[in-house]
Amino acid sequence: MGPGNDERDAEAIAEAATRPTMRFVPLKEAAQLDMQALHRARERLVAERTALINQMRALLLERGIVLPQRRQSLATWVDAPVADGEPDPLSPRIRLLVTDMRSEWAELDRRIGVFDDEFLASARQDEAARRAATVPGIGPINATALVAAVGDASAFRSARDLAAWLGLVPRQATTGGRPKLLGITKRGSRYLRKNLIHGARAVLPRLAAMDTRLGHWLRDLLARAHKNTVVVALANKLARIVWAVLARGRTYAAAVS
């Protein structure tokens, strides 16, 4: 009888340990694991809120009520009392249902806000998160999530390794010896990648207007590529800057051109 899976796994681990280029994943500290658990709990609440809002929009749309996509527009319409003398566009039972859903939405907002306050306090107290938060587009949520996931970034040999781990580098396809760049790989943590892209989208107009190397790079890219492509490229750049900040123990300072 040949060796079992356990024996093969042990042999593979022993073989890998002898290779000088082999990289190992460092064990996370308890605080990092706790922070990741908090982020997962918040993400679940955000998903529940999004599903609830979408259901409310669909319910109103069925009754011919079309509202702007902003959450505040929907909240304002639902919270506004029906004017005296005007008929309610909703039946009494559906009005009661919408009011109940609005209360559930408000409770989800409150619970998400508790997490946000905790992340803000953690980002102020933790040195690494505080340094990461100096990078544009990296607020308390991104800073605490990144530090919880990568620690001091020593597990990554370069900034590109971190960007690749996050799935923010382009895939390559080679035909006839000629490489062709495709879309990003989307490997790694979907949560971190999504938050980085949201952060990049939020700060893109401000950074592109600045007289810095990053600003000139963004303006040149915007002249040649679609805005969504530029947003992902900026997210890649921000991830690389975060690696430099965490790995070298510095804060971010924009380089003036």
Q: DSSP code of 73?
A: H
- Mean pLDDT (whole number) for 85-111: 95
- For residue 75, give the amino acid letter: A
pLDDT of 215 over the 80 cut: yes
pLDDT of 25 over the 60 cut: no
Q: How far is CA 177 from the centre of its chain?
A: 35
Q: What are phi and psi of 172, to 5 degrees?
A: -120, 140
* Nearest CA among 68, 108, 240, 102 for reference residue 168: 240
Q: Confidence class of residue 85 from pLDDT cuts 50, 70 and 90?
A: confident
pLDDT tens digits for range 130-146: 999 999 999 999 999 99
Q: What is the mean pLDDT of the chain?
A: 87
3-state helix, strand, coil in the chain (%, to 5): 65, 5, 30
Q: How far apart are CA 31 and CA 184, in angstroms?
A: 31
Q: Confidence class of residue 22 from pLDDT cuts 50, 70 and 90?
A: very low
| Tokens, residue 131 | 């340094």
Beta strands (DSSP E) in 86-204 are 170-175, 178-184
- What's the pLDDT at 24? 52
pLDDT of 199 over the 70 cut: yes
- Given a contact cutoff of 8 angstroms between Cβ atoms, the answer to whether 166 and 156 are in contact is no
Return the bridge partners of 172, or none: 181
* Nearest CA among 28, 23, 61 for reference residue 161: 23
Q: How far apart are CA 18 and CA 93, in angstroms?
A: 70
- Mean pLDDT (whole number) for 7-21: 64
Lowest mean pLDDT among 11-20, 61-70, 193-202, 205-214: 11-20
- What's the pLDDT at 84? 77
pLDDT of 65 over the 90 cut: yes
pLDDT tens digits for range 169-179: 876 555 555 55
pLDDT tens digits for range 29-55: 899 999 999 999 999 999 999 999 999
| Tokens, residue 11 | 């042999």
Q: How far apart are CA 204 and CA 171, in angstroms?
A: 24
Return the bridge partners of 69, or none: none
Return the bridge partners of 256, or none: 212
Cα angle 49-136-245, degrees, rounded to a multiple of 5? 115
- Given a contact cutoff of 8 angstroms between Cβ atoms, the answer to whether 199 and 205 are in contact is no
Selected residue with higher pLDDT from 253 and 30: 30
- Mean pLDDT (whole number) for 211-238: 94
pLDDT of 110 over the 90 cut: yes
